[in-house]
Structure 1
Amino acid sequence: MAGPTLKQGRERRRWWARPLRWWHTLALAGGVLCAPFGFAGNQKEEALADGVRVALSNAIHDARPPKPVAADKQQFDVWHAAMSERLKRKLPDELTRREFLETAWYEARRAGLDPSLVLGLIQVESAYRKYAVSIVGARGYMQVMPFWTNVIGDRDRSKLFNMQTNLRYGCSILRMYIDMEQGNLYLALGRYNGSRGRPEYPNAVLAAWNKWKL
C-alpha cells in the first residue's frame, strides 16, 4: 500500500498544530493567560497551623492604605521613576501605573519582599493583566487561587480582581512560603506555583527579577 503523499503529510502536521494555535489565540485574547505550555500554577491548599492561618488572615484584613511611609519616600521615588518608565508599554495610563507601583511597593515591603521581585513574579504569572485567569482558576496579577479567600479571607472571590487585594494576597502567601522553606526563595517560588522541586518556574521568576532590579 502506498504511503502518504507530501500534501497529506502537510495536512496531518497542520491538524496536529491546530490545538496549540487555539490555546495560543485564547491566551493572547486575555481569556486564559497561562496556556498549558506556560507557567500555569496550581497553589496547593495545605493544612496550616492555626497561628499561621490567623497571621495570614490578619495581614489580609489590614486596612492601612497602600502608601509608602515617609521614611521610604526618597527610595520609593527613585524606584518608581525607573519602574514607571519600564512599565509604560504594559500600563500606559500614568495614574494607573502610579497606583500600581505604589501598591506593589507597599505590599511587597509590608511582607518583607523586594518590590522588584514582586514585579518579576507578576510578569511571569500574568504579564501585568489585572483580569488574568489561568486554566486552573488562579486570578489576577499574582494569580491567586480562589480557595485562599475561604482559608484566610471573606469568601468573596471576585475581590481577587481588585489590585490591592490581589497583591496583598500574593505577597502574604509568598512570604508564608518563604518562611515555610526557611528562607529558601527557590523552593518557596516553586511552592507558590504548585511545582515545588521543578526548576522552570523559579528560574523564570528569578530571571525576570533580575530585569526589574535597579
Structure 2
Amino acid sequence: MQMKGAIGGFYKLCDWIMKLAFINLLWMVFSIFGLVVFSFFPATIAMFVVIRKMLMGDFDIPVFKTFLESFKKDFFKSNLLGLILFILGYFLYVDIHLIRTTGGLLNLIYYPALIICLGFVLTVCYAFPTFVHYDFKVHQVLKSSFIIMLLNPLSTILIVIGGSAVYLLMTTVPGLIPLFSGSTLAVVIMWSSFFAFSRIERAERAALGISDTAVVKRNK
C-alpha cells in the first residue's frame, strides 16, 4: 500500500537518503576496487546511470544490479572518456602553472586561461549526464557536452550553485563524505542537466516532428 500525505513524503525522503548512501558506497568501493585509475570513471558512469533512472521515475530499480551492469557494459568506453578528460585537464593544469611561474607577458593570458579551465570543468560536469542520456560515441559526448554547456546558462548556473552547496555541506560536515559526497553531487548535476536535455528534445520535436513517445523510447 502506497502511503500518502506527510507520512508518505517522509518515507520517500528516507528512501532517497538510504539509496543515495548505498549508491555512494558502491561508487567508492568500485572505484577503489580498480585502484581508482581503471575504475573511477566506470564507477562514476554507473552511478549516473542509476541516478538518472531514479530521477526519471524508475525509483524501484535494483540499484546494485543496475550499477554492476552499467559498470561492466561501459567499462572501456568510460575509461576512454576518462583518459581524454585527464589528458586535457593535465595540459590545462600545466599551462596555468607555467603562466603563474613564468610571469611577464604571459600574465596577460592568465585570466583567459582560467576562464578556459572553468569551461573545461563545466564541460566535464555535462559529460557524465550526456554519456548516460544519449547513445553517443566518446568524441560526440565531448563535443555535445561543450555545446550544451555554452547554450544552456540556466542549467550551468544550477550546476555551479548546487555543486557549491554540496561542497559547502561536505566540508562543514565531513562525516557525510563517505555517505553522500558523490551521489548527492550526481543528483544535482543530473537534475540540472535535464533542463538542458528537455530544451534540446523540444527543439528536435519542433524541427523534425518527433513525437514525445519516440524521444522517451530513445532515452530509456
Common topology (TM > 0.5)? no
Q: TM-score, structure 1 length as denominator?
A: 0.30
Higher helix share: 2
